[in-house]
Amino acid sequence: MTEEKPVLHPSWLDDPGLHDVLAVLPQARPVGGCVRDALAGRPVADIDLAVPMPPEQTLYRLEQAGLHSIPTGLSHGTVTAVSRGQRFEITSLRRDLATDGRHAEVSFTDDWQEDAARRDFTINAMSLSPDGTLHDYFGGLDDLRAGRVRFVGQAARRVAEDRLRALRFFRFQARYGRWEQGAEPDVAAMQAIAAIAGELTQLSAERVWSELRRILTGPHLAATLGAMERTGVLPVLFPAGYDPAPLIEAVANGMPGEGLAEEAIPRLALLVGEKEPPRALAERLRLSGQEAGRLAACLDGSVPVWDGAADTVGLRRLLADDPAQALIDRAWVTLRDERAAHLTRLLTPLSRPHFPLAGRDLLAAGLATPGPALGHLLDTVRTEWLHRGCREGEEEKAALLAWVEDGLKAGEI
Q: 160 and 166 in contact (C-beta within 8 Å)?
A: no
pLDDT for residue 111: 94
pLDDT for residue 318: 61
Q: In CATH terms, is domain 1-143 a member of 3.30.460.10? A: yes
pLDDT for residue 411: 83
pLDDT at 201 over 80: yes
395-400 long-range contacts, CB within 8 A, separation 24+? 396/356, 397/356, 397/357, 397/361, 400/356, 400/357
pLDDT for residue 80: 94
pLDDT at 316 over 70: no
pLDDT at 400 over 80: yes
pLDDT for residue 409: 85
Q: What is the pTM of this model?
A: 0.78
Residues in the chain: 413
270-298 per-position pLDDT tens digit: 999 999 999 999 999 999 999 999 999 99
pLDDT for residue 236: 97
**DSSP per-residue string spanning 249-306:** HHHHTT-S-TT-GGGHHHHHHHHHTTSS-HHHHHHHTT--HHHHHHHHHHT-TTSPPP
pLDDT at 384 over 70: yes
Asked whether the domain spanning 147-237 has the same topology as the one spanning 1-143, the reply is no
Q: 72 and 79 in contact (C-beta within 8 Å)?
A: yes
Q: What percent of the chain has pLDDT over 90?
A: 63
- CATH of the domain spanning 147-237, picked from 2.60.40.10, 3.30.930.10, 3.90.550.10, 1.10.3090.10: 1.10.3090.10
Rounded Cα distance, 404 and 409, in Å? 9
pLDDT for residue 3: 56
pLDDT at 406 over 70: yes
**How high does pLDDT run on average in the chain?**
89
Position 174 confidence tier, pLDDT thresholds 50, 70, 90: very high
115-166 per-position pLDDT tens digit: 999 999 999 999 999 989 999 999 999 999 999 999 999 999 999 999 999 9
The ranges assigned to domains in the chain are 1-143, 147-237, 239-352, 359-410
pLDDT for residue 187: 96
Rounded Cα distance, 261 and 212, in Å? 9
- What are the residues facing 48 on neighbouring strands? 89
**Residues 38-44, mean pLDDT to the nearest whole number:** 89
pLDDT for residue 346: 82
Nearest 10 degrees: CA dihedral of 221, 225, 227, 230? -160
Nearest 10 degrees: CA dihedral of 194, 196, 198, 201? -130
Amino acid present at 182: G
Q: 193 and 169 in contact (C-beta within 8 Å)?
A: yes
pLDDT for residue 101: 53
Amino acid present at 67: L
Q: Which of 43-47, 93-97, 183-187, 259-263 shows the lowest per-residue confidence on average (mean pLDDT)?
A: 93-97
How many Cα atoms sit within 13 Å of 348 on the Cβ side? 14
Rounded Cα distance, 382 and 289, in Å? 28
83-115 per-position pLDDT tens digit: 988 899 999 999 877 665 566 677 899 999 999
232-263 per-position pLDDT tens digit: 999 999 999 999 999 999 999 999 999 888 89
Burial class (CB in 10 A: 0-12, 13-18, 19+), 133: middle
Q: What percent of the chain has pLDDT over 70?
A: 91
pLDDT for residue 84: 87
pLDDT at 325 over 90: no
